[in-house]
Structure 1
Amino acid sequence: MSKTKNSFNHFAWEYFEGLEKTQKGNTLIRKKGRLELICSYIGNEPISEIGSPRMLEVLLDIQANSLNKAGKPTDKAERCAGIASDVFIYAGARGFCSSNPAALIKSQLAKSSYGHRPAITHPKDFAKLLRAIETIVGDPNTINSLRLLALLFVRNGDLRRMRWADVELATGRWQLKPLKGQGKVNMVKDQVVPLPDQAVAILHKQQKINGHTEYVFFSQTAKKHQIISENTANKRLKDLGYQNIHCAHGFRATAKTLLQEQLKYPLVLVEMALGHTTKDPNGTAYGRFEYIDDRSDMMQKWADYLDALREGRDTTEFRADAQNKADSTAQLKALIDQLGEDKVLELLKNKD
């Protein structure tokens, strides 16, 4: 690998050394892979002599070799263009190139396509999955992680990295910095997840198992990060017969759909629960503690709703508008008791 003073390689890996001081984990690994791929094409070329036509040629080739199962392009070429652009900016700031050829290429690439990850969005089908999860035997880490994914619908990576230091069982709060929130404008950098009673009970069980460790889902068999593998949840779902039907990330789509369609909660509360940035009509972003009472109520109703689904009970009472209907019914009954049914019917008829 050539790292002469003016080569793309030189600036690429000098730039990457800076990233290593501020980033870590899978994000850094992915960026390193993209840099290695870009460098395999233009690493030995003088950075000041790489123009837009050359970058377009490189990125179109990467795009052609990065197709999904449906034969459509993924976002690999776009992401490679992004990190190449960062390298050109880094070199340009130091006076070694006068343009950023990668910045012009993104609009010339085909729109990436991954498709939706599999998720169950029908209540009866989700009830079957919830019951199936309870049949899992073996490592309690596994079943408790799946239970919490259903209850809290956070990303699997964030749940696996849950630390006891970030959890307040007494108040039912979990404060975290979502992995995907670091550097993405549509994801919150700090998030507070209200914990329903059912989640607190599960965490008390985990405390008896892993309370002496840093992580809620500590695993003695995990060599690298000392937490359960990112494939643990998906493997168990596959074992239960849900391959290509529902995945660990699918709990988020399930919750988003059922909270809005079945429980009738407003989009703003659901989006905040998902860790997405949410703004009011004036463009002001909501803070992590905004609507915390409403969100706590929603998370408890969601947990109670899941219990009812699993047990095959009626779920009507968990709709967000159920209390308004109950109040209206009570008011009507009181009016009938006071005036009589005939008088009330006459009043309603005249109103029409």
Structure 2
Amino acid sequence: MGKLTTLSFKAAIAPGTYQDGEGLMLVVKSAKSRSWQVRVQVDGKRRDFGLGSAGKVSLSAARAKAQELRTLYQSGVDPVAKKRADKLARLSIPTFREAAKLVHDEQKAGWRNVKHRADWLSSLERLAFDHIGDERIDLVDVPMVRDLLLPIWLEKPETARRVRQRVKAVLDWAAAKGFRTSLDLSGLNKGLPRQPKGDNHFAAMDYVKVPSFIAAVKAAPETTGRLALLFTIYTAARSGEVRGATWGEIDLDAKLWTIAGIRMKAGKEHIVPLPAPAVKILKHLAEARKGGKGEVIFIGTKERPISDMTMSKVLRDMSEPFTVHGFRSSFKDWAVESTGFPDAVSEAALAHLDKDRVRAAYRRTDFLKMRGDLMAAWANFVDGGGGVVRDITEPARLAG
């Protein structure tokens, strides 16, 4: 038991050193300047460590701290070195942005799907970094994750699900690395609105109504979002392919758009024959381009590609309950019901892989010429040209 008592500890105000035992001492410089120190033997040498002000650290707390320090030394741990290491560890903890990039670099080699490899990090850049990118990874909590998911939770439930999984993967990696403790996201749904059940199909506009919709978009004031939506409809492309399109992918003379496999869902290069209205949009936008081949075509804020919400907003502003992706279904329905083109041609236009592996292995064509005719017919239809394509030998000719 220590020599000091609660009463003698409080009464010790005269300058001097008051021993409690086992190296613990109360050092008094004046009635207002009293502090705790503990003396230990380290490799035969005496070392004194401060334990804090006596005005803030009680006698019992000082004894506990002294015992903790002695125990560390007895186990071979240098408290000073440990304190420095802990401080260094805190300084080296990455932000969520830095951690996500490290996870991507470490794990991408194991992902067979090239499209997934590219989309994994870009989805976090678009939808998470603005919210938690600069937060230290050990400080990210459930409310932060909830807030970043809320804007897309009902609008894009599948995208929200993927972002949530990827955020969790980064947090789990950080826990495994010792940067933080595990974060339980199992109750996250309770803080978000209930997602309506559906058939997982993208809401698509009846192709018969697309021409009047196109006319309405053209009649509205021009915005990058509207031009991008028109281009997406004319080419029947995925919105992500359009948003990430660069001038280096475009050959205006040949009227072709070549998308690298890394940007495609199937991981294979895809060549899109550009119909005249799509070329017209590109030439219009080319007047403002700066000349770099890697320059994005549809530019949003801060010289970055437009977000996935930009085109969706055009539909919302026009009170249309459809999705951008749904126009691919509109195109497919039109191709099946109103043209004589083989199904394989419209499937190739949509960059769908043939699920019959044997048939796909023997196919040696991508139907580029026929797809060019098909896209020209589609553009003519949605621009109000009307008619039905009947003759597959001359598919670009529209019957009245």
TM range (shorter): 0.5 to 0.7
Correspondent of 1:69 among 192, 195, 208: 195
Residues 288, 210 of structure 1: CA spacing in aligned structure 2 closer, same or farther, 3 A cutoff? Answer: farther
Distance in 2 of aligned mates of 1:14 and 1:42: 9
User: What's the TM-score once normalised by structure 2's chain length?
Assistant: 0.52
Identical aligned pairs, as a percentage?
Answer: 22
User: What's the TM-score once normalised by structure 1's chain length?
Assistant: 0.58
Show CA shifts across 1:86-131 (max 9, x none).
Answer: xxxxxxxxxxxxxxxxxxxxxxxxxxx66222211241x2222111
- Match of residue 374 from structure 2: 298
Residues 25, 36 of structure 1: CA spacing in aligned structure 2 closer, same or farther, 3 A cutoff? Answer: closer
Q: What pairs with 1:147-186 in structure 2 (closer than 5 Å)?
A: 147-177=230-260, 181=264
Distance in 1 of aligned mates of 2:220 and 2:228: 12
- Match of residue 141 from structure 2: none
Contact 2:258 2:270 in 1 (8 A): yes
Contact 1:217 1:228 in 2 (8 A): no
- Match of residue 18 from structure 1: 106
Residues 276, 260 of structure 1: CA spacing in aligned structure 2 closer, same or farther, 3 A cutoff? Answer: same
- Match of residue 234 from structure 1: 312
Structure 1: give runs of 5+ residues left out of the alignment.
3-11, 47-57, 73-112, 327-352
- Match of residue 19 from structure 2: none
Show CA shifts across 1:299-323 (max 9, x none).
Answer: 111112222xx3xx5413x335595
Q: Which structure has the larger Rg?
A: 2
Contact 2:207 2:331 in 1 (8 A): no
SS of match in other structure, 2:379: helix
- Match of residue 275 from structure 1: 351
Contact 1:176 1:191 in 2 (8 A): yes
SS of match in other structure, 1:217: coil
Residues 202, 218 of structure 1: CA spacing in aligned structure 2 closer, same or farther, 3 A cutoff? Answer: closer
Correspondent of 1:120 among 202, 205, 209: 205
SS of match in other structure, 1:134: helix
Higher relative contact order (CA 8 A, sep 6+): 1
In the TM superposition, what is the alpha-carbon distance from 1:61 to its structure 2 partner? 7.4
Distance in 2 of aligned mates of 1:127 and 1:287: 34
Q: Higher helix fraction: Structure 1 or Structure 2?
A: 1
Contact 2:275 2:372 in 1 (8 A): yes
Q: Higher strand fraction: Structure 1 or Structure 2?
A: 2
In the TM superposition, what is the alpha-carbon distance from 1:290 to its structure 2 partner? 2.0
Residues 159, 36 of structure 1: CA spacing in aligned structure 2 closer, same or farther, 3 A cutoff? Answer: closer
Distance in 2 of aligned mates of 1:146 and 1:35: 28
Q: What pairs with 1:134-283 in structure 2 (closer than 5 Å)?
A: 134-139=218-223, 141-177=224-260, 181=264, 187-210=266-289, 212-213=291-292, 214-219=294-299, 222-223=301-302, 226-242=304-320, 244=321, 246-278=322-354, 282-283=358-359
SS of match in other structure, 1:269: helix
SS of match in other structure, 2:165: helix
Residues 170, 128 of structure 1: CA spacing in aligned structure 2 closer, same or farther, 3 A cutoff? Answer: same
Distance in 2 of aligned mates of 1:250 and 1:136: 21
Residues 239, 189 of structure 1: CA spacing in aligned structure 2 closer, same or farther, 3 A cutoff? Answer: same
Residues 15, 126 of structure 1: CA spacing in aligned structure 2 closer, same or farther, 3 A cutoff? Answer: closer
Distance in 2 of aligned mates of 1:181 and 1:133: 27
In the TM superposition, what is the alpha-carbon distance from 1:191 to its structure 2 partner? 0.5
Distance in 1 of aligned mates of 2:166 and 2:314: 34
**Given residue 301 of structure 2, which amino acid in structure 1 is its aligned partner?**
A
Show CA shifts across 1:227-250 (max 9, x none).
Answer: 2232121111211221x2x22212
**Given residue 155 of structure 1, which amino acid in structure 2 is its aligned partner?**
R
In the TM superposition, what is the alpha-carbon distance from 1:39 to its structure 2 partner? 7.9
Residues 320, 145 of structure 1: CA spacing in aligned structure 2 closer, same or farther, 3 A cutoff? Answer: farther
**Given residue 215 of structure 1, which amino acid in structure 2 is its aligned partner?**
E
- Match of residue 37 from structure 1: 168
Contact 1:174 1:192 in 2 (8 A): yes
SS of match in other structure, 2:227: helix
- Match of residue 343 from structure 1: none
Distance in 2 of aligned mates of 1:145 and 1:178: 21
